[in-house]
Amino acid sequence: MKRLSVILGSGFSYYSGLPLVKDINIYFERDNSRMLLHFSSDEWKWYDLANDVYKNNGSLSFDRVAYGYILNELVNSFVFENKRFTNYEEFYQYVLDNLSKNGFLKDICGKAKKRFDKNKEIAKDNQFYDTYASAFSAPHKRQIYNLVNYLIGELLYWRKPFDSFKDNYNTFLSYLSQFQYKDIFTLNHDLLIEALFQVNKIDYCDGFSQEGSVLQTDGKKIISTFNGQFNYPTNLIKLHGSVDVYKYYCFEKNEKSLNSTDEYIYFKTHDYYEKQRPMRIDPITNEILQDFHWNITPQFITGTNKMELINSDYMYKKLYNEFTNQINKSEELLIIGYSYGDTHVNERIKTCLSQGFLKRIVNINPSKPFPYNPEKNIEIENYKQINDLV
């Protein structure tokens, strides 16, 4: 009946070639005036990470260059205030906090337009100048939020062949097999752990299911939605969300208008059309209640005020409560690639040192040993890499 809790940080994804914080920072610190792609689906990508088809389609947007200049000025403003580009999460929080302030975005766009004109991106006598420059005078706050979210998420897909690195995780998977019950709490938004489980035919529960779902495609395929159930021997709890999770806002339709119900549904998909066109149905009659969906931004938490977002959202609150409850039931805690930078996670770690059934802690981090002293007799082992696991 042995139970294991696992906490995965960004270092867990090292072998797959996924970026660490410093690697993501580089993309935002550079000149991005010509490095963004914007699609008719309202999605954003980095130009230099796209294939030729995406480069062509994403370059058709008239506002992609303008928003590249706006992103540059947001970074400049952040650097001016902080003396340097500290990290992308603090930048994200800075943008989020300031977008609602009077005059902030107007000032940013004014500076961006001056640089746009100075570089002669589009000649002022060009008949399409106003079209290409319109984002400076009428920027959408929601668009900027979407842009930053998409650009961060775009960096969290591995670009190395999966077979070239998957065997590096065999020791980890073998270690998991020693325990009857495993609760994996990951802070990563990427899909690496899911891919490893699927390739190795490990059944797991991630809190999403087609059972009881009220979302479907126009072809009546049921879409997996969040039900908050974690009842498998292996459970995967993505505390900060995932690049394949989306939020469906519910509306009621009457003869004259649409009214928000203030309800929302989280759903998970890798399919383009499921993401773009989910339909909400009556669970009893299967009648279509809502046939539109306007928010296709991947739902993951970043920034520095994560706990505020967790407390205000039913899914993230449920995930955090699951973390709080299950970590205290474990006999062993395995921590891989976590830098102990999230206060709300550290609080739960420290609590389980004095409460619960912990007998052993294994910390895998090349540069940071386990930082806390338990109040009771708990074995603590520090390793540099996953293959040191025994």
Helices 21-29 and 141-154, interaxial angle, to 10°? 130
- Burial of residue 203 (number of CB atoms within 10 Å: 0-12, 13-18, 19+): exposed
Q: Which amino acid is at 325?
A: N
94 and 26, same structural domain? yes
| Predicted pLDDT of residue 92 | 94
284 and 205, same structural domain? yes
Closest of 152, 141, 150 to residue 108, by C-alpha: 141
62 and 179, same structural domain? no
Q: How many domains does the chain have?
A: 2
3-state SS assignment for residue 253: strand
Question: What is the per-residue pLDDT across 201-231, written as a single tens digit (0 to 9) for each?
Answer: 999 999 999 999 999 998 889 999 999 999 9
Average pLDDT for the chain: 94
Question: What is the per-residue pLDDT across 261-270, written as a single tens digit (0 to 9) for each?
Answer: 899 999 999 9
Give the pLDDT mean for 149-170. 95
Closest of 82, 81, 74, 96 to residue 29, by C-alpha: 74
Closest of 148, 77, 85, 73 to residue 118, by C-alpha: 73
pLDDT level of residue 141 (50, 70, 90 thresholds): confident
pLDDT level of residue 356 (50, 70, 90 thresholds): confident
Cα separation of 222 and 284, whole Å?
A: 14
141 and 207, same structural domain? no
259 and 220, same structural domain? yes
User: For residue 17, what are the contacts with CB-CB under 8 A and spacing of at least 6?
Assistant: 158, 159, 160, 165
237 and 364, same structural domain? yes
124 and 28, same structural domain? yes
Number of neighbours of residue 120 by Cβ within 10 angstroms: 8
**Residue 351, pLDDT above cutoff 70:** yes
- Pick the last residue of a domain from 124, 154, 184: 154
Tokens 């340097």 appear where?
84
Cα separation of 99 and 249, whole Å?
A: 22
Q: Which two tokens stand for residue 7?
A: 């906490």
Tokens 């410093």 appear where?
22
Q: What are phi and psi of 72, to 5 degrees?
A: -55, -45
User: For residue 300, what are the contacts with CB-CB under 8 A and spacing of at least 6?
Assistant: 149, 153, 189, 240, 241, 242, 243, 245
336 and 249, same structural domain? yes
125 and 51, same structural domain? yes
Give the pLDDT mean for 15-35. 94
| Predicted pLDDT of residue 154 | 95
12 and 98, same structural domain? no
Q: Which amino acid is at 130?
A: D
Could you tell me what percent of the chain has a pLDDT over 70?
100
The whole domain housing 73 covers 21-154
Sign of the alpha-carbon torsion through 89, 90, 93, 95: negative
**Residue 390, pLDDT above cutoff 80:** no
Q: Pick the range with the lowest mean pLDDT from 110-114, 225-229, 251-255, 326-330.
A: 251-255
**Residue 283, pLDDT above cutoff 80:** yes
Question: What is the per-residue pLDDT across 357-387, written as a single tens digit (0 to 9) for each?
Answer: 899 999 999 999 999 998 788 999 999 999 9
- Pick the last residue of a domain from 111, 127, 154: 154
pLDDT level of residue 1 (50, 70, 90 thresholds): low
221 and 103, same structural domain? no
Question: What is the per-residue pLDDT across 26-46, written as a single tens digit (0 to 9) for each?
Answer: 999 999 999 999 998 889 999
**Residue 138, pLDDT above cutoff 90:** no
- Pick the last residue of a domain from 154, 178, 201: 154
Number of neighbours of residue 217 by Cβ within 10 angstroms: 16
166 and 141, same structural domain? no
| Predicted pLDDT of residue 168 | 95
**Residue 329, pLDDT above cutoff 70:** yes
